[in-house]
Amino acid sequence: MKTYAEINAKIELGDAVVMTADEIMDYVDRKGIDAVAEEVDVVTTATFGPMCSSGCVLNFGHSQPKIRMTEAWIADVPAYTGLAAVDVYLGATQLRHADPANMDYPGEFRYGGGHVIEDLIAGKTLQLFALSYGTDEYPRREIRTYFTIHDLNQAIMVNPRNCYQNYNVAINDSDRMLHTYMGQLEPNRRNANYCSAGQLSPLLNDPLYETIGIGTRVWLAGAQGHVYAEGTQHAGGCERTEGGVPMEGAGTLALTGDMKEMRPEFVRGASFKGYGVSLAVGVGIPIPILNADVLRRTCVRDSEIMAPVVDYSHDYPEKTGRVMTRVSYAQLRTGEIEVEGQPVRVGSLSSYHKALEIANLLADEIRRGDFLVSEPLRKLPRDVAMLPLDIRPEPS
C-alpha cells in the first residue's frame, strides 16, 4: 500500500520506479504481483488517435479601437464567437469556409479546425478575420490581421471527449464503399478498422476509474494538462468482462491543457475522405501503483480486451445495437480477424507506435521528477448509461 503523497515524495527525489503499461505485464509475470506492487510506483499509459471532440479557447487581446467579434475565421476556418469580446472557441471538426464538403462525394476535407490547431502549435503564422456589429464600447466592425500562438494571451485546449475507454471495430456489411470517421470501409466486409491503444490505453489500464478521475494531471500532447470533467457520452455503467474491462465504448475523459507547451508531433490535423476533418491527439496518463489491485489491472493484455465489430453501413447509422462479433485486440493486431467464418483484413487508426513513445516520454518525465501524480478531486461515475435522443413530435 502506498499513498499519493508517498509516491510524489519519491518522484521529487528522483527515486520513483516507473514502467510503461507495455513493460509491466511481463515484469509482473516474472516477479509476481506483490513484489512488483512494492517496487513499482507508477505505470504510464498512453494513446494517440483521432479524437473529434477536441478544440481550443483562444484569447486574442484587444486591438485599438476595440472589437467585440461576432463572427471570426482563423485561416478561413470559422470559430465560435458567442463568448466575451475577443474569446473564441475553435473546434477540431470545423470545416474551412466554402469547403464543398460531400457535394462532390466523397469530399476531400483537406483543411479544417484540426489543422488550424496543429498549425498554431507548430508556431505558424495564421490569418484572423473577424466582423462585428459595433457597440459603444467596442466600435470596430472589422479586423484582419496575422498572428502566431505567441501573440495570444491564452491558447487553451479544451477537449470535451478524449480517450475513449474502448471502441468499435468498424466493418461494412453492404455492397458499396463507405467513407467514415473510421476510415475507408470496402464493400462486403473486405476490411475492418479499429481505434484503440488497447493494453496501453489509459482507461483500459484503470477500468474501474480508481486513480483516473476529475483533476488527474495528464500529459496532453507534451503539456501538463488535467482531466476537467467526465468526458461527454461517458457511460461507465456498461457491460464488462470479469476483470472489469468494458466490452464497448464506456468511459471518456474531458481534457484541458496549455497549447503553448504542446509539441506539434503529438497534435495532428486529420482529413477523413467523405467524413470531414478531425484532430489526432496524444495523451499520456500515469497510474500510481497504490496497491496490488491497481497494479493487477494495469497488467491487462490485448488478448483480454474485447472490441465489438459493428456494421457501419446499417447498424451504426440506424442505431440498431447489433454487434456482429467480438474480437480481441491481440487478434486485431495480427492484421486479420474472422467475421462469421470469413477472414477480414484489419487496419488501425490509433497509433500504438506513438502511444508507446508517449508512455516512455511520460515515464522519463516522472523519473526526472518533472511530473507528479495527482489524486482525483472527484471520481468518474461508474453507474451512468448513455441517453438516446428521442424525437418527440411535440413538446411534452
Binding site for another protein (CB under 8 A): 48-50, 110, 183-184, 191, 193, 265, 268-273, 278, 280, 333, 335, 345-354, 356
| Residue 290 beta carbon to another protein: minimum distance, rounded to whole angstroms | 29
Residue whose CB is less far from another protein, 131 or 177? 177
Is residue 265 within 8 A of residue 80, CB to CB? The reply is no
Residue whose CB is less far from another protein, 159 or 211? 159
Residue whose CB is less far from another protein, 167 or 272? 272
| Residue 345 beta carbon to another protein: minimum distance, rounded to whole angstroms | 5
Cell of 348: 488501425
Residue whose CB is less far from another protein, 132 or 168? 168
Residue whose CB is less far from another protein, 334 or 396? 334
| Residue 348 beta carbon to another protein: minimum distance, rounded to whole angstroms | 5
Residue whose CB is less far from another protein, 89 or 194? 194
| Residue 327 beta carbon to another protein: minimum distance, rounded to whole angstroms | 15
Residue whose CB is less far from another protein, 213 or 282? 282
| Residue 353 beta carbon to another protein: minimum distance, rounded to whole angstroms | 4
Residue whose CB is less far from another protein, 61 or 335? 335
| Residue 53 beta carbon to another protein: minimum distance, rounded to whole angstroms | 16
Cell of 74: 482563423
CA dihedral 246, 249, 250, 256 (to 10 degrees): 130
| Residue 29 beta carbon to another protein: minimum distance, rounded to whole angstroms | 16
| Residue 354 beta carbon to another protein: minimum distance, rounded to whole angstroms | 6
